[in-house]
Amino acid sequence: SRSAFGASVAGGRRAFFGWLTGAAKEKKASLMHREDGSLIPMLESPIPGVQKLAQQYAAHGQGCGNCRHPLIYSCPKSGFPSHCCEVCYNEDKTHQDYAPKLREVYADLVDLRSGRKFPEFEFPGPPAHEWQRSELLNWRAYLSDRRFNGQDSVIGNARTEEELEREAQSIRHISSVFTFPLTIAHAIYWAKVLGDPSRLDQKKDEEGNKLPWRIA
């Protein structure tokens, strides 16, 4: 029947695009991980731009801990060139505190150069109504209110841990573009509301709680 044929076509499309999505994820994973699952050091990245950034980081950094030797050893958890050797790496207990953030930076650099399509940068138009308010206290709330796209769907719709991780990455990408202009717009708006720009640090919500002067 026609309905059965339509369902078959729809199912085929879902399977096809699912295959494309899976292929894109596999390609991106191969740009950051070896076949055994270990992290590819940034200094050995197959992406020239990432490798160059790592070389600059290693060359212009302050050196390894107290010994100040060149950074030629890469942290296996973050991928960043972090120490002069494995011995210094193992002795440095503080590095582990920020290794997850460095790995996040590495993942974002790879993602931006992975060649995937970026629905995040297909920005929504103006609000449907002038009176429509958008939450400006944090990026996830704002981007969700304004219906920005994430990698999988509209920001705010992520449910699984994997979806939330990709959504967080999308938010980082978008916020890097909008941090400056939206912070300025936020300040201008509140300066108008308060009547005095010098009082920006005095704005409060309806319950009397002090509000931040920039989007967090």
In a domain, 180, yes or no: yes
In a domain, 143, yes or no: yes
Q: Around Cβ 178, how many Cβ atoms within 10 Å?
A: 16
More reliable by pLDDT, 201 or 38 = 38
The pLDDT tens digits for 77-109 are 999 999 999 999 999 989 999 999 999 999 999
In a domain, 196, yes or no: yes
C-alpha pair distances (Å), 40 with each of 3, 70, 98: 49, 20, 18
Same domain, 127 and 75: no
Question: Is 211:194 a contact under the CB 8 Å cutoff?
Answer: no
Rounded (10°) angle between helices 48-60 and 95-112 = 150
Mean pLDDT to the nearest integer, 149-177:
94
Predicted local confidence at residue 56, as pLDDT: 94
pTM: 0.77
Predicted local confidence at residue 25, as pLDDT: 62
Distance CA(56)–CA(52), nearest Å, equals 6
Instruction: Indicate whether 17 pLDDT > 50.
Output: no
Picking from 177, 162, 47, 150, the residue whose alpha carbon sits closest to that of residue 106 is 47
More reliable by pLDDT, 200 or 138 = 138
Across the chain, mean pLDDT equals 82
Residue 88 structural domain: 42-98
Same domain, 139 and 171: yes
Instruction: Indicate whether 169 pLDDT > 60.
Output: yes
Into how many domains does the chain fold? 2
